[in-house]
Every structure is written in structure tokens, then in C-alpha cells.
Amino acid sequence: MFNANDIRKDFPALSRLVDGRRNTYMDTAASAQKPLAVLNRIQKMYIEEYANVHRGSYWLSERATENYERARQTVAQFINAKDKREIIFTRNATEGINLVAATWGQYNLKAGDEVLLSRAEHHANLVTWQQWALKTGAILRYFDLAEDGSFIFENFKNALSERTKIVAVTAMSNVLGTLFPVKQISTEAHKVGAKVLIDACQFAVHKKIDVADFDCDFLAFSGHKVYGPTGIGVLYGKYDLLAEMSPYQFGGDMIEHVSYDKTTFALPPARFEAGTPAIVQAVGLGAALEYVMQYDFNDIEAYEKELINYTTDKLSNIPNLKIIGTASDKGGVFSFDIKGIHPQDLAFVLGKEGVAIRTGHFCAEPIVNLLGYNSLARASLGIYTTKEDVDEFINALNKAINFFK
């Protein structure tokens, strides 16, 4: 059964006191804490089962390869991909998006073609396509959200055209918390012949990913946000698309044959995993996803909905506090501003109370500026967040407000 209070016990960092206070971690949107199952699996891999993969004919290498490829199968299961060859291990979601832009984008975008993004995109998505649009002569187009952050489907549909070659959007805004209707986005985009790339970094923490149902062409997420290690990410791509794409980087393990004059390349996913990969990190990611999959996502979503409502009510009762992003369909992200208090000053005081939040523009400067701010504060939820955490957070906010009076 899903019980956040019990789950919290699985995360060692959360039991550590901060200046003698409870560690109230409200920054999962930036990076999630790691359960013992992941930490123990990483340690076991380094101590007992480590070697390079795909190269050795001895037990350690065979074992490491088995573990690495099992992790790929676990990712495929986690996102409901039909074939584990559709799973590419990257450093993070940023590298996955860059891979698509530098391979598919380089050869499929030309002057006058359009790339469609929302106004709420993370820099990993926005800057990547912005730069490749400059290189290829393609045109970057954006569609607007509602004032409260809600997704307006007509805005999206009206921005599509026969010139749209790819739609690259988040599944959940890391600033607003807005959930995007990715299945419907894919359906409409495919009607005009456009490909669809989904940034699922925030979504993967809170909602069930189903690439078969989404029918997206590409999807990326980072391991560190979904309770796994840093230095590992996932790019999903439909196999036929991946098989047509050129390599992203060159080196060992991504080749078929090499001579002094010519090289032929391996089939996906090896084609896109040049050099020694993040072996232990991939195995750690597999352990993280196995940990999450022991719970029913319906239970996770039901609990989170209750916690979102609870947090919203608490924040709404604080004078001069404005929640940024109040769409009815949103995930566990709360960006906010308190009149008269700079977010960085606020975070400093909260930190002394053992409460960890994020401040700044959250690598989404354009949307924060568009909303009229240079910096915001942000609290975010994970599967280990409890009502007690929310209460500690609210109490610390009230103390900070009184401090700055």
C-alpha cells in the first residue's frame, strides 16, 4: 500500500537533521532524493559486479552487461515502450533533446520549416531548438497558455501548420505545474505530418508515462528527478525513426565495422551510445524505476492530488502570497511570490528552518519574465512528501514573513 510516511523512511537523507531540525525537502522538481534500494544497488554494482559492458567474455563483464541491458528493459517497461531497442541511455534529458535536434533536426529541418514550442518550456528544450533553428533557417514558433497557466488547446491547434516539422513540448511545466495533454498534442501534430518530442522530466515523477498511448515520436527524462542517480537520462524514440537517424557522437561501441577509410554504424540503441556508457548509473536508474513501480500510479496520483489541494489551501491563506500557476490540472509544483520579500532572502530563512525550496527562474527564464518576474520561489512534492512536510513549510513561511516585517 502507498503510504508516504512509510516511504519517507526509505530515503536516508530525509532522516538527517538540518541544524537540529527536521529535513523538510521541498525541492524534488530540481532533483529527487534517493531510496536505499538505489543506493544499495549502486554500491553492490561497484563492489561485486563492475566491469565494462558489451566487450568482455569474462564473468564480470557478462554480469555487468546483463545488468545494464536489464535496466534498459526496466525503462521500457516503465514507459510502456514496445521494444527495449527504443531506449537510449544519455547523460540526462538535456542530452536526449540535443541528440534529437542534432540528428533528426539537422537532416529534417530546412529554411522556412517551423518548430513549435509552448511558452513554458525549460531551457533544455527552448534553447536547443532555438539554436538549431538558427543553424538550419527554421522558424521557432510559440503558443500561449492561459493567464492561470492552463493549457488552451485551441492556441496549440492554431499555431500548427503544414510547415510544422516538430512539436517539442513539456508534459508538465516545471514553473507552473501545468499538465499538457500529450496524447491529443501528438494526434493533432501527426495530422500535419509533424513529429512530437515530449520533455517528461517533471511528468515522470508524478504521472504514469505510456508512450504507446501518447503516440509521441520521442520522449526524454532524467534519472535524477525520478529517484535515480545523476549522470543518467533516457531518450525514447520510435525504432523506425531511430534507425533512420545518424549517430550523435562517434567512438567505441557504436560501430559495425571500421577501416582506415570508412566506418559503418551499429543499429539503435548502440548507434547513439558512443564510448563507455554510464554503466552503474543506468543500473541505479533501473533500481529507482523498480522502486517506483512497486506502487500503483493511481495511488500515487490520488495521494498527490490530495496533497496538492492541501498545500494550495495552506498557501492561499498566507497574506500577500501569490501562487504562480493555478491550472485545475497541475502536478505537485508550487511557484510563488510574496510581496515585499525577495525569493532568495525567503529561501535563506527557510533553509535555517530546515526547509529546502528553490528560487530563481528555474531554467525557464522566458516564461518567468513573461509573467512579470525576475525570480520566484518554488516548492515541489515527491512520493515521500507528507502533510507534516507541508505544515513545516507553511510554518517556516510564516516565520519568514514575520522576520521581514
Q: How many CB atoms lie within 10 A of CB 50?
A: 16
Determine the 3-state secondary structure of 359 from DSSP: strand
Decide if 32 contacts 226 (C-beta within 8 A). yes
Report the C-alpha gap between 322 and 176 in whole angstroms.
Answer: 12
In DSSP terms, 376 is beta-bridged to: 360
Catalytic annotation, pick one of 360, 363, 366, 373: 363
Q: What are phi and psi of 123, to 5 degrees?
A: -55, -35
The candidate with the shortest Cα–Cα distance to 81, out of 246, 289, 378, 288, is 289
> Looking at residue 342, what DSSP letter applies?
-
Report the C-alpha gap between 25 and 385 in whole angstroms.
Answer: 8
Residue 229 CB partners (closer than 8 Å, separation 6+): 34, 38, 42, 223, 280, 281, 284, 285, 288
- The three cell numbers locating residue 180: 499538457
Give the E-state strand segments of 244-354 in sequence order: 255-258, 263-265, 321-324, 333-338
Amino acid at 118: S
Annotate 254-283 with DSSP letters as a single string: SEEEE-SS-EEEPPTTGGG--SS--HHHHH
> Looking at residue 168, what DSSP letter applies?
E
Decide if 35 contacts 398 (C-beta within 8 A). no
Q: Is 131 left (phi over 0), alpha (psi -120 to 50) or beta?
A: alpha
Q: Active-site residue 201, yes or no?
A: no
Decide if 218 contacts 239 (C-beta within 8 A). no
Edge-to-edge strands of the sheet including 376-380? 321-324, 333-338, 376-380, 358-360
Active site residues: 363
